[in-house]
Copies of this chain bind each other. A is one copy, B any other.
């Protein structure tokens, strides 16, 4: 089975949460964002997949994952699917729902990180919403970020006799997503995130443990990973990082 991943070229975005699961799961997949147009990749392929002619269950937005004739959208939903396919989630129903619940809380967190630089949405450029971004970021760094990190640190503490992961004894897709959000926070807010993580040893250990996974390490070193950049979900504006 070869999966196909459809996502915008040039950014990690939401697609990266799916990529990390595919990589760690050892899945065979075609990444349409990096495939040259001549080989059927790039923006035209994404637009065609979004148009979804003949698909009675059309997606609203990328990322999309094709698995045979199925097209699955919405990042947490794709991970719910891949968690079972690639054994990156518990097999029992209660464990699967708990893992998914954590993923939806991680989604809440990275949406709030996106809103720090785009509180008015992406209908306006960052430069058109600087003042609003500054106010939103103040509240985010002072109130929301410590609340989220405190919560996830507690989840790790409750599971720490079983290892560095959030759920049970084995890595799940939420560990990959959490490590990705932490990497994004380091990029976006190097000063504020270093300060916020000082009292979160388990989150730091989780990130280290994910980066040390052989398949993840190989992926990060492969040159295939798009670097963080300021068109992306996580953006670095020094004036926001206080």
* Chain A residues in the interface with B (C-beta under 8 A): 56-60, 70, 72-74, 76-77, 80-81, 94, 97-98, 100-101, 104-105, 108, 111-112, 115, 119-121, 123-124, 129, 132, 135-136, 139-140, 143-144, 148, 151, 154-155, 158-159
Contact = CB atoms under 8 A, between A and B. Distances in A.
Task: Give the secondary structure class of A's interface.
Answer: helix
B155 A104 contact: no
Give this chain's copy count. Answer: 2
Nearest to A133: B120
Most B C-beta atoms less than 10 A away, residue of A77, A104, A135, A148: A77
Contacts of A94: 70
A70 B101 CA distance: 13
15 contacts: A57-B158, A58-B154, A60-B148, A74-B100, A74-B104, A74-B105, A76-B76, A77-B97, A119-B120, A121-B139, A123-B144, A124-B135, A129-B132, A129-B135, A132-B132
A212 to B, nearest CB: 26
